[in-house]
């Protein structure tokens, strides 16, 4: 469908619930999990329970994350993030719900953002619940694993990096400075649950919105798909900008298949 139809649709709306996914950060150099056909294109990411229960999985996670973090941190907001921040300043967005964990919406200037799956920039202690910064964790990781500090590897989604030829059993993981507990990035891993307050906040915003706009998400993950399902049930029209198939294609009033940044820069 044409961008002009989408422009007309959005012009009549005052409170748009925006849902973004990995596709919008692809143009900032952060890879997605799925391709345009909706096919999985990566090795499997860590599962929530694996991280909690297996030291070897945590060693693998933190080693890869230590290498991938630098790439994620260097990524810059692109025209989609910047355009959406501009929309917020003219009161068009009820809430921007992102499934991304890269923090690029906030770095572009958006403030009404709900990080549905958390942010990689923070680390939470599973023992005492204290939150600390990922930068601090990076320094500690590099101090105790100096030979990994300058490792170069292929970068993957979610700040992950491909370093499987490394001896993971030698990886040392810092623990919580306060209680000695296990540290976890403050994100929802696959197999984990989105915190209830986040889900409630998103549904409350959706109930006040007169449209949903999905950008750059396959919606294959239920935690994002549920908002489209709810919108369809309650008669809120849904528009989508995505290159490729999504799980909610049959729920959209309008779908534009083009690069998110091209679409958003022409709409804003």
Q: Decide: is 102 part of the binding site for ligand NAD (CB under 6 A).
A: yes
Q: Which parts of 177-216 interact with ligand NAD (CB under 6 A)?
A: 216
Structural tokens at position 266: 């022409």
Return the SS3 of 122.
strand
Nearest to 76, CA basis, from 113, 109, 45, 99: 109
Q: Would you give the binding string for ligand NAD spanning residues 128-167, x where CB under 6 A is met?
A: -----------------------------xx---------
Find, among 122, 83, 121, the residue nearest to 105 by Cα.
83
**117 a catalytic residue:** yes
Chosen residue from 243, 253, 265, 266 binding ligand NAD by CB under 6 A? 243
| Residue ranges with strand state E in the chain | 16-20, 93-98, 113-115, 118-125, 131-133, 154-156, 160-162, 183-187, 211-215, 238-241, 254-256
Selected from 36, 154, 164, 178, the binder of ligand NAD by CB under 6 A is 36
Q: How far apart are CA 101 and CA 87, in angstroms?
A: 21
Considering only residues 106 to 135 of the shown chain, the ones binding ligand NAD according to CB under 6 A are 117
Q: Which is nearer to ligand NAD, 104 or 176 (CB)?
A: 104
Q: Would you say 209 and 16 are in contact if contact means Cβ atoms under 8 Å apart?
A: yes
Under rule CB under 6 A, residue 260 binds ligand NAD: yes
Span interacting with ligand NAD, options 3-11, 26-34, 146-154, 173-181, rule CB under 6 A: 26-34
Q: What residues pair up with 256 in beta bridges, in sequence order? A: 241
| Cβ atoms < 10 Å from Cβ of 75 | 18
HEC per residue, 72-84: HHHCCCCHHHHHH
Three-state DSSP class for 206?
helix
Can you tell me which of 16, 18, 19, 26 binds ligand NAD, judged by CB under 6 A?
26
> In this chain, which of 6, 17, 18, 33 binds ligand NAD, going by CB under 6 A?
33
Out of 5, 244, 267, 268, name the contact with ligand NAD by CB under 6 A.
Answer: 244
Segment near ligand NAD (CB under 6 A), from 21-29, 176-184, 201-209, 226-234?
A: 21-29
Strand partners, 125: 183
Binder of ligand NAD out of 16, 18, 19, 34 (CB under 6 A):
34
Residues 59-88 that bind ligand NAD (CB under 6 A): none
For ligand NAD, the binding residue among 17, 18, 19, 27 (CB under 6 A) is 27
CB 219, min distance to ligand NAD, A? 6
Helix count and strand count (H, E) for the chain: 10, 11
Catalytic residues: 117
Residues found near ligand NAD in the complex (CB under 6 A):
21-23, 25-27, 30, 32-36, 99-102, 117, 157-158, 216-221, 242-244, 259-260
């Amino acid at each position: 469908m044409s961008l002009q139809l989408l422009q007309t649709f959005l012009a009549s709306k005052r409170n748009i619930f925006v849902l973004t996914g990995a596709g919008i950060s692809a143009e900032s150099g952060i890879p997605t999990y799925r391709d345009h056909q909706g096919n999985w294109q990566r090795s499997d990411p860590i599962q929530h329970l694996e991280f909690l229960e297996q030291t070897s999985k945590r060693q693998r996670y933190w080693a890869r994350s230590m290498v991938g973090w630098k790439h994620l941190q260097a990524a810059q907001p692109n025209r989609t993030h910047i355009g959406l921040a501009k929309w917020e300043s003219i009161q068009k967005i009820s809430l921007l719900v992102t499934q991304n964990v890269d923090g690029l919406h906030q770095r572009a200037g958006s403030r009404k953002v709900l990080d549905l799956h958390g942010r990689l920039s923070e680390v939470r202690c599973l023992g005492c619940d204290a939150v600390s910064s990922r930068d601090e964790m990076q320094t500690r990781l590099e101090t105790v694993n100096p030979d990994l500090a300058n490792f170069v590897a292929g970068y993957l989604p979610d700040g992950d990096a491909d370093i499987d030829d490394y001896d993971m059993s030698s990886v040392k993981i810092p623990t919580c400075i306060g209680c000695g507990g296990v540290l976890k990035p403050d994100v929802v891993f696959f197999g984990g649950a989105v915190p209830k307050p986040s889900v409630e906040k998103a549904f409350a915003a959706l109930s006040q919105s007169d449209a949903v706009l999905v950008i750059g998400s396959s919606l294959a993950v239920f935690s994002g798909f549920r908002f489209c399902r709810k919108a369809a049930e309650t008669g809120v029209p849904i528009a989508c900008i995505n290159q490729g198939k999504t799980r909610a294609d049959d729920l959209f009033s309008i779908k534009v298949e083009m690069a998110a940044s091209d679409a958003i820069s022409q709409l804003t």
